[in-house]
Structure 1
Amino acid sequence: MSKAVVVHEYGGSEVMKIEEVEVGKPGPGQVKVRNRAVGLNFIDTYFRSGLYKAPALPFIPGNEAAGEILELGKGVRGFKVGDRVGYVSALGSYAQERLVDARILVKLPKSISYETAAGMMLKGLTAQYLLRQLFRVKKGHTILVHAAAGGMGQLLCQWGKSLGATVIGTAGSKKKAELAKKAGAKYTILYNDENFADKVREITKGKLCDVVYDGIGKATFPASLDCLKKRGMFASFGSASGPIEAFNIGLLVQKGSLFATRPTLNDYADTPANLNAMARDLFSVVSKGKVKIPVNKRFKMQDVIEAHKALEGRQTTGSTILIP
C-alpha cells in the first residue's frame, strides 16, 4: 500500500483526500517508482476543478515527479532497480509509489537532484520544445514571455537569454518583475498597470516580437497578437486566466500573416527517442548553469490543499514541489 492524493469529485482544493492505495506489481513494460519529489503545476488545478477532464473518477492528480526504481516489469530494457529517474505522465504523480511505463522515464544525471528534476520535468521539457522546436529561438530574436516570474516564465527567460534573444517579460507586480529580470528578461512590463502591447511597441521601437509565449490565455488575447511582427508566432501553451475562446482566423491576416498554435508536450515527446533527446538538451543547459531551477516552495503531501490554494492565489514563484 502507498499513500496518494485522490480526487473523487471535481471541485475546489478541499476535494483532494489523502488515502491508502494499492500499487501492485509492474506489468510488462512498466516499472514501480518510489517518488522522492513531485512537481506541482497550474494544470493540476485544471484537472482537480474539472476544467480538464480526467479519464475517470476517482483519479490521482499530478503530471511529473522524480524518484528511484523499486521494481521492473517484464521486458523492460535499459533500466535497473535503484536507477534515479524523472518522468512526465498523464496523471498519477501525487503518490509515494506508482507504476510508470518505462518508455516515459528518463535517467537523471548525478548533477540533477530529485527536487530539481521534479520542479522542471514538465516545465523544462515544455520550454525545450517551445524554444528549440516549435520556434527555434536564435541570437537577434525578440521574444515576449507572459507571466515571466512563474516557474515556466523564468525558465523561458533564462533559456531565451542564453540563446541570445532579447527577452521582454510581463509580470503582475514590481516584485515579480524583479524576479523576471533576474531570470533574464531585459525589459519587464507590469500588465496590471500598463497596456503591454503598447509597451512592447515602445520597447522595440515598432519592430515588435518574433514570438509570444503565452500561458495566460483569455486575459492576454488578442492583445498578444499586436505584439508580433509580420509572420510572427503566437504560441499559446496554457490558460491560467481561462481558455481563449473561438476567434475569427482572419485576425491573423489583419495583423500580419501571423501563425498561431496551441501545442502540447505529448506531441513533441511522442517517442522515447524524442523524449530522451529533449531531456538531454534540458539537462545540459541546467547542468551548465545556463538555466537554474528555483524550487521556492515545498509542501508535504498532507498539505496539498494549502499547496493548491497557493498556486491558484498566484502566491508561488519558480517551481513548487510536493514531498510524498
Structure 2
Amino acid sequence: MPKRIAFSRYGDSDVLEYLDFDVDEPKSDEVVVENKAIGINYIDTYIRSGLYPVKTLPSGLGSEAAGIVTHIGDNVTDFKVGDRVAYAQASLGAYSQYHLVNENILVKLPDEVTFEQAAASMLKGLTVYYLLTQTYPLKQNEIFLFHAAAGGVGSIACQWSKIIGAKMIATAGSDEKISIAKKNGAWQGINYNVENVVERVLALTKQQKVNVVYDSIGKNMWIKSLDCLKRRGLMVSFGNSSGPVTDVNLAILNQKGSLYVTRPSLASYITNKTELNIAANEFFSYVAKGAIDITIREQQKFALKDAATAHKIIQSRKTIGPSLLIP
C-alpha cells in the first residue's frame, strides 16, 4: 500500500508519522505523480511546528518533488502518462509515494535534469529566480549581501549571481561553508559566528555598504542587515531560520537611511502557468548545461520513512546544500 508522511499536531520532528494511504482518482485538471525524489525545504519545518499553521489537521507535508505521471484527469492536455515532471508549489502532501498535482503547477523535466536534481532544487531555483531578477534585479559588478549562502537557496544564489556577473558577499556559519560559497561563485565571504558582519561589509565596500541584502535568517540578522544597507537600500527578508522578526519599529528604517523592506514569497511572484514556465525554463536550462550545479550529498538523502530524522538534521544547521527524501 502507498506510504506518506503526515502529522496530527504541531511540534518537533517527532510529530511526523509514516502512514498508509489511498491515492484518490485525479480530478479533471489533475495528474497523479509517482514521486521518485522529494525536496525538503526549511519552510516544511515552519509548517510542522505551527509557525505557518495549516487549515486543518491531520495534514500532509511538502510541496516539491519530481517523478513520473501515472494517471491524468479528463481535461489534462499538456501532460501524458509517462512524462517526466517536477513541481514546487503543490498542495501539501509531497512527502509521499504518490501525489495529486494540479496541471497548472507542473512542468516537464528536461532529459538532462535528473529527478533528484529537480526535486532538490526547483523550489529553491524558482526562489532565487524571483529574488535576483525580480525583487531586486541585480546588475553586473554590483556588490550585494546574501546570508546563509551555503544552504540550499544560497548555493544556487551563489551560482546565479556568477551568471549575472554580480559580486556576492556571502555569509555562513563556518569557514567550511564560506569555502563552499566561494567555490559556487561568491565574491567574498563572512563567517558570522566569528566575524563582525557589519564591519566586514563596510571594509569590503570601502565604507559604501550595499544596495540590497537578502536575508533568510530573520531575527538574529535583522539589525545587522539594516546596518549594511546604503541610504534608501532594500532589505529582502525571505526566511526565519533564527526566528521571525517581530515588533518592528518602522522608525528604525527612517533612522538608518529611509530604507525599504519587503517580505516576498514565491506565490506572489509566480501566479500562473505562464510565469511558472518562464521561471522554470530559465532555471532548468542553467542546470541542464551545467551553469548551475545541483549536487546532493549522499548523507543528505533520506528514506521517506526517515523524514523526522531529516528535519532534525536540517534544523541543526549541519547540512550543506539541498536534502532529499527518497520514496
Fold match by TM threshold 0.5: yes
Deviations 1:234-286 (A, max 9, x none): 11110000001131222222222222100010111100000110101111222
CA–CA distance in structure 1, aligned partners of residues 143 and 295 of structure 2: 24
Query: Which amino acid in the other structure matches residue 324 of structure 2?
Result: I
Matched, 1:243 2:244: yes
Separation in 1 of the partners of 2:140 and 2:259? 21
Alpha-carbon distance between aligned partners in 1 of 2:177 and 2:93, rounded to the nearest angstrom: 31
Q: Which moved more, 1:247-256 or 1:33-42?
A: 247-256
Query: What does residue 22 of structure 1 align with?
Result: 22
Q: Where does residue 99 of structure 1 map in the other structure?
A: 100
Match of residue 176 from structure 1 = 177
RMSD: 1.1
- Compute the TM-score of the two structures, normalised by the length of structure 1: 0.98
Please state how far the C-alpha of 1:290 moved relative to its aligned partner. Answer: 1.9
Measured in 2, the distance between the counterparts of 1:256 and 1:12 equals: 40
Tell me if 1:306 matches 2:313. Answer: no
Mapping for residues 21-170 of structure 1, pairs under 5 Å:
21-88=21-88, 89-170=90-171
Say which SS state the counterpart of residue 10 (structure 1) adopts. Answer: coil
Say whether the 8 Å CA contact 2:91–2:101 is kept in structure 1. no
Question: TM-score, normalised on structure 2?
Answer: 0.97
Unmatched 5+ residue regions in structure 2? none
Q: Deviations over 1:105-161 (max 9, x none)?
A: 011111111000000111110000001111111102111110111111111111112
Instruction: Figure out how many residues of one structure are paired with residues of the other and give that number.
Output: 324
In percent, how many aligned pairs have the same letter? Answer: 47
- Structure 1 position 290 matched with structure 2 position 287: no
- The one-letter amino acid paired with 1:84 is R
Which residue is 1:216 aligned to?
Answer: 217
Cα distance, 1:315 vs. partner? 1.7
After the TM superposition, list the runs of 4 or more consecutive aligned residues in structure 1 that deviate by more than 6 angstroms: none
Residues 91-100 or 224-233, more deviating:
224-233
Using the TM superposition, name which of 124-133 and 183-192 deviates more: 183-192
How many Å apart are 1:196 and its aligned residue?
Answer: 0.3
CA apart distance, 1:203: 0.9
CA distance in structure 2 between the aligned counterparts of 1:143 and 1:292, rounded to whole angstroms: 22
Consecutive unaligned residues in structure 1, runs of 5 or more: none
* Whole-angstrom distance in 1 between the partners of 2:155 and 2:91: 24
- Aligned equivalents of 1:312 and 1:248: distance in 2? 29
Distance 1:261 1:195 in 2: 24
Q: Distance in 1 between matches of 2:99 and 2:186?
A: 38
Question: In structure 1, the residue corresponding to 2:171 is in which secondary structure?
Answer: strand
Distance 1:290 1:245 in 2: 38
Distance 2:288 2:235 in 1: 30
| Aligned-partner Cα distance in 2 for 1:291–1:232 | 28
Q: How far 1:289 moved relative to its partner?
A: 1.9
